[in-house]
Structure 1
Amino acid sequence: MSGEFSFKRVTAPDIAKRKGGAPIVALTAYHAHTARIIDPYVDMLLVGDSLGMVMHGYETTVPVPLELMIMHAQAVVRGSSRSLVVVDMPFGSYEESPSEAFRNAARVMKETGCGAIKIEGGAHMAETIRYLTDRGIPVMSHIGMTPQAVNTIGSFKPRGRFRSEWAAFEEDARAVAEAGAFAVVLEALAELLAARITKQISIPTIGIGASAECDGQILVLEDMLGLSPRVPKFVKEYAQIGEAIETAVKAYANEVRGRVFPSDAYTYPMCDEPAPVTKKPKMTGS
């Protein structure tokens, strides 16, 4: 094969090269419309399994099936054109063995057109990360507070706030970097620890409730827009769209109940009946 080929999208290697450079901007996206809106402004779109809580009403991310992740990822890929799209592998789709992880991750990439996948876990997932990357699947890791492990952790609580915990998280970060992950999400880690890990490893760190020293940041879009009913402490709300929606719905309900809506401006008037068409008598020759 001759000639050069270049991706129109940001790729996993592009993100990896940003270590220590300009901060990486990332947000979650779950459907085509929001992906289209935010795509020009971010480097990476994460189709997170948080969609189970944000869009489908689950209490945790644990019940999310692989098929649901694929469906939402397909929409995000269709709605975007330049950002790297990364898809979360849901709970139960990769933990059993590296070969199981490969089968499911390959399916996700083939059926969605995404550029990478993300799996939770540190040192104990290093073998799986290496297995996937050796076979052409870019992997972003996720350590710290790992939502899929909520049933063993006990709650969505910050991690690494005691120095006695630091060594384990530092080892997790080193292990995933050495295994070939192109980046690692640090979620709800103590600020000093997150900054320390960022300096220790060779791949970009993407913080969420971690540290401004991380190589990039990510938030759940609905959290930052004020649409989520339970917003974590680490989220800065950049808009109060939730309040605007509530105000609009109240106004709509009041107008419907008061028979104000729809007014004439939002209905279609009758048209005059068209004049009947009269046929001219057919002339015959003499």
Structure 2
Amino acid sequence: MSTTFTIDAATSRATPVSAPMKRLTIPAIRRQKGTTPLVMLTAYTVRTAQLLDPHCDMLLVGDSLGQVIYGLPSTVPVTLDMMAAHGAAVVRGSHHAVVVIDMPFGSYEGSPEKAFESAAWLMKQTGAAAVKLEGGAAMASTVRFLSERGIPVMGHVGLTPQAVNMLGGYGARGRTQAEADKIVADAVAIAEAGAFAIVIEGVVEPIAIAITQAVACPTIGIGASAQCDGQVLVAEDMLGLFERTAKFVKKFDDMAGHISRAAQTYADDVRSRSFPGADQVYQPRP
């Protein structure tokens, strides 16, 4: 049974619901190649989606939720059920951005048919507009299979976190000419197979520039280059919720500090019995 349904503004704590806007489409995203840079952030919850949606062209329900939300050591343990629950929440909380959902490790690599089964289930469960999968030329036939059957696919090349065990870590990719050439060839193969956009993660900058110039679809950089057609970051990293972040992250705020200070003030008020005050308690009616 689908987890997609509409928020009841009268009862949901996640209110007010954003004013409905016309949601962007996959063709609209493709048309932004080479024009105004595309804005993408991750989102995992209704409220985060509501706050980010007016500012973003795309919201990515990333399998990074394994680390950000669940404290897992990598994205590898993330399941389809986890992606479906959070994907449905983000769709409910958004009205404008294209919602893209990651296909977790093990849900698509076996065969194009397996990938279609997983992707179709995720889209039915969530209402997301597209899926994202990692991998280069080896996944081109899968990207083509899905695209030809009505499932928009965002590719992901360079540093591919699901392959962390094979890569041996999260270091920047493409420092040798052979690896650089392979990453560019991977991106071209994915684009030619029908990907509507490609995330380029954790590569030396000339690779990102070369890919952006070589493919007809938009490129979305993360640790890549400002010359990509758009950018994505994990929202919690961008907001400053974590002390340790990758080199390519810019912290646009100090939400961890805000939360810590608010919690300290709350604790002080509780211990001094100044909270709850008169405005927060119920008195007998006269």
Query: What is the distance in 1 between the residues matched to 2:180 and 2:75?
Result: 26
TM-score, length of structure 1 as denominator length: 0.90
Q: Indicate whether 1:195 and 2:198 are aligned.
A: no
Match of residue 54 from structure 1: 68
For the 8 Å contact 1:54–1:228, the answer to whether it is kept is: no
Q: Which residues of 2 match residues 1-286 of structure 1 at below 5 A?
A: 8-272=22-286
- The residue identity in structure 1 corresponding to 2:231 is Q
For the 8 Å contact 2:239–2:252, the answer to whether it is kept is: yes
Query: What is the distance in 1 between the residues matched to 2:204 and 2:116?
Result: 32
Query: What is the distance in 1 between the residues matched to 2:280 and 2:26?
Result: 49
Give 1:256 deviation, angstroms.
2.1
Matched residues, number: 266
The unaligned stretches of length 5 or more in structure 2 are 1-20
For the 8 Å contact 1:118–1:141, the answer to whether it is kept is: yes
- The residue identity in structure 1 corresponding to 2:76 is V
Helix, strand or coil: the match of 1:22?
coil
Aligned-residue Cα RMSD (Å) equals: 1.4
For the 8 Å contact 1:23–1:216, the answer to whether it is kept is: yes
Give 1:51 deviation, angstroms.
0.9
- Could you give the per-residue CA deviations for residues 210-243 of structure 1, whole angstroms, max 9, x where no partner exists? 0001000011111110112421111111111110
Q: Which has the larger radius of gyration?
A: 1
Helix, strand or coil: the match of 2:133?
strand
Give 1:266 deviation, angstroms.
2.3
- The residue identity in structure 2 corresponding to 1:153 is L
Query: What is the distance in 1 between the residues matched to 2:191 and 2:204?
Result: 20
Query: What is the distance in 1 between the residues matched to 2:222 and 2:181?
Result: 20
- Could you give the per-residue CA deviations for residues 28-76 of structure 1, whole angstroms, max 9, x where no partner exists? 1111111111111111110001111111111111111101101111111
Match of residue 284 from structure 1: none
- The residue identity in structure 2 corresponding to 1:42 is C
- Could you give the per-residue CA deviations for residues 132-155 of structure 1, whole angstroms, max 9, x where no partner exists? 111110000001111111111111
Query: What is the distance in 2 between the residues matched to 1:145 and 1:77?
Result: 27
Answer with 152-161 or 215-224: which moved more. 152-161
Query: What is the distance in 1 between the residues matched to 2:61 and 2:108?
Result: 17
Query: What is the distance in 2 between the residues matched to 1:9 and 1:62?
Result: 31
Question: Could you list the runs of 4 or more consecutive aligned residues of structure 1 that deviate by over 6 angstroms after TM superposition?
Answer: none
Identical columns (%):
54
Give 1:79 deviation, angstroms.
0.7
- Could you give the per-residue CA deviations for residues 152-180 of structure 1, whole angstroms, max 9, x where no partner exists? 11111111123332111011011001111
Give 1:107 deviation, angstroms.
0.6
- Could you give the per-residue CA deviations for residues 241-279 of structure 1, whole angstroms, max 9, x where no partner exists? 11010111122223323333223332223334xxxxxxx
The unaligned stretches of length 5 or more in structure 1 are 1-6, 273-286
Give 1:203 deviation, angstroms.
1.2
Answer with 165-174 or 257-266: which moved more. 257-266
Helix, strand or coil: the match of 2:180?
helix
- The residue identity in structure 2 corresponding to 1:102 is F
For the 8 Å contact 1:225–1:238, the answer to whether it is kept is: yes
- The residue identity in structure 2 corresponding to 1:210 is A
TM-score, length of structure 2 as denominator length: 0.90
Query: What is the distance in 2 between the residues matched to 1:112 and 1:271?
Result: 46
- Could you give the per-residue CA deviations for residues 58-114 of structure 1, whole angstroms, max 9, x where no partner exists? 111111110110111111111111111000000111011110000010011112111
